[in-house]
Amino acid sequence: MKQPKSTPPTTFRAAYDTLQGHADTLRRQSEPNIDDLLKIVNESVTAYQVCKERIDAVEKALEEALSQVSGADAAQAAPPPPAPAPARASSPAPAPAPAPVPAPAPAPAASEPPPASSDARPDDMDDDDIPF
């Protein structure tokens, strides 16, 4: 007997719950159930696409909102343009002197890395505690 098709999720929350449920199912299995695996993969891909579309839409909306805010802030913070200087009948004023160039900062003193401790073991470098 064929199982009825489940409706694909249409909201981020439903799609995320689908992905979490499938991940939990796969973690609990000591051996993968090959008969259900194709269904799980197909539903997961569909749920992932829904999540990605929603995240992309939110990122785009945030970028647009932030660019509008930063554009408005820049317009408010910009000083008014200077008033034109009055015309003079005499010769033009000399050009201002160039600003002095600061001296380069001294290079930091070379330091040696600390010596390796004698109790360091190669198994201290395991990534077993990292969840991915």
Q: Give me the DSSP letters along 19-52.
A: HHHHHHHHHH-SS--HHHHHHHHHHHHHHHHHHH
Residue ranges and CATH numbers for the domains of the chain are: 7-78 (1.10.287)
Highest mean pLDDT among 13-17, 27-31, 91-95, 118-122: 13-17
DSSP string, 72-110: HHHHHHSPPPPPPPPP-SSPPPPPPPPPPPPPPPPPPPP
Nearest CA to 43 out of 67, 81, 8 is that of: 8
46-100 pLDDT per residue, tens? 999 999 999 999 999 999 999 988 877 666 666 666 666 655 555 555 556 666 6
Query: Cα(8)–Cα(45) distance, rounded to whole angstroms?
Result: 10
